[in-house]
Structure 1
Amino acid sequence: MKMTVEVHWEREGAVFTDKRYSRAHFWRFDGGQVVPASASPHIVPLPYSVEANVDPEEAYIAAISSCHMLTFLSIAAPQGIVVESYTDKAIGVMEKVDGRLVVSRVDLNPTIVYAGEPPTAATQTELHHLAHEQCFIANSVKTEIQVAS
């Protein structure tokens, strides 16, 4: 299976060699969705970044959270555990490791509302454990991923 994403940026007349050019660009996904993107203002100062746009670090954290959620839902459903809503306020931690800046950890903080009686804490912990083991993104990265219970 292959997935394609188009990432497009244009100089728009900026000098470029002085590094004073816009980092604004867009991502176009195979379904047609276009997402405005930019370097993070924490990495590249304004006005050369766009605070309102998604940055790669945020997208990375969102991909990990989204994959975990989708895997969690797919495991819960056949067990008869009905989820009404799932909200995760994921937090990524960037730090220097071996002299290089990396997203070293992602903390997932899901709040889940169930229809009827919620599963026991032990069952929820097991569902999150299985979701982490089966998540394609989690299996593809070195970043430490922690799920709050």
Structure 2
Amino acid sequence: MASYSADVSWRLAEGEDFALGRYSRGHTIAFDGGITLPGSASPHVVGKWAVAEAVDPEEMLVAALSGCHMLSFLHVARLAGLHVVAYRDHAEGTMAEIAPGRQAVTRVVLNPRIVWSGETPDAERLARLHHAAHEACFIANSVTTEVVVAA
């Protein structure tokens, strides 16, 4: 069994008012591999109190689903005897209300563009490869969000 960790750190800045909600949502996210990213709430959620240049949790969820699908797809394609030379995805997540006062990322659409060397699978085979990759993706298996591959 594998274990994963991230250290998230935030501190109230001088002059900010926590009780009134007037504080930056900027924070840092440190991963066990040594990378530290600037994080924040989404500007869509907290407006001016967000750090627009930072990564928000919703973006990280979309990126995690996209990255996991890509890595699973590369593995499935290799096992099928295909040769991928490039893979690019523009993934988009949608936030929606799931109950009064509750929201969730309810849908993520992956838009992979794949460059092949040698055999290029037809649309039906490509769809089967994406389905197999989706079934193998640890992150997709961990969430209730609808994940759609719009290949």
TM-score by length of 1: 0.96
Partner of 1:38: 40
Give aligned-pair identity as a percent: 49
CA distance in 1, matches of 2:72, 2:30: 24
Q: Secondary structure at the match of 1:62?
A: helix
Structure 1 unmatched ranges of 5 or more: none
C-alpha deviation, 1:5, in angstroms = 0.5
Verify: 1:102 aligned to 2:130, yes or no.
no
1:114 to 116, 120, 128: 116
- For 2:28, what is the secondary structure of its paired residue? strand
The correspondence of residues 64-83 of structure 1 with structure 2, limited to 5 A, is: 64-83=65-84
Q: What SS does the aligned partner of 1:16 have?
A: coil
* Secondary structure of 1:42 counterpart: helix
Instruction: Structure 2: give runs of 5+ residues left out of the alignment.
Output: none
1:116 Cα deviation (Å)? 2.1
Task: Say whether residues 1:91 and 2:92 are aligned partners.
Answer: yes
Task: Kindly indicate whether residue 136 of structure 2 is the aligned counterpart of residue 134 of structure 1.
Answer: yes
Higher deviation after alignment, 113-122 or 82-91: 113-122
| 2:59 counterpart letter in structure 1 | E
Number of residue pairs matched by the alignment = 148
Q: Deviations over 1:92-149 (max 9, x none)?
A: 0111012211111001111111112311211111110000111000001000111113
Q: Tell me which amino acid in the other structure corresponds to 1:20.
A: R
Structure 1: 4+ residue segments shifted above 6 A? none
Q: CA deviation at 1:78?
A: 2.3
Task: Give, in whole Å, the separation in 1 of the partners of 2:146 and 2:79.
Answer: 28
* 3-state DSSP of counterpart to 1:86: strand
- For residues 26-63 of structure 1, give each alpha carbon's deviation from its aligned partner in whole angstroms, at most 9, with x where no partner exists: 110000000111011110111x1111110000000000
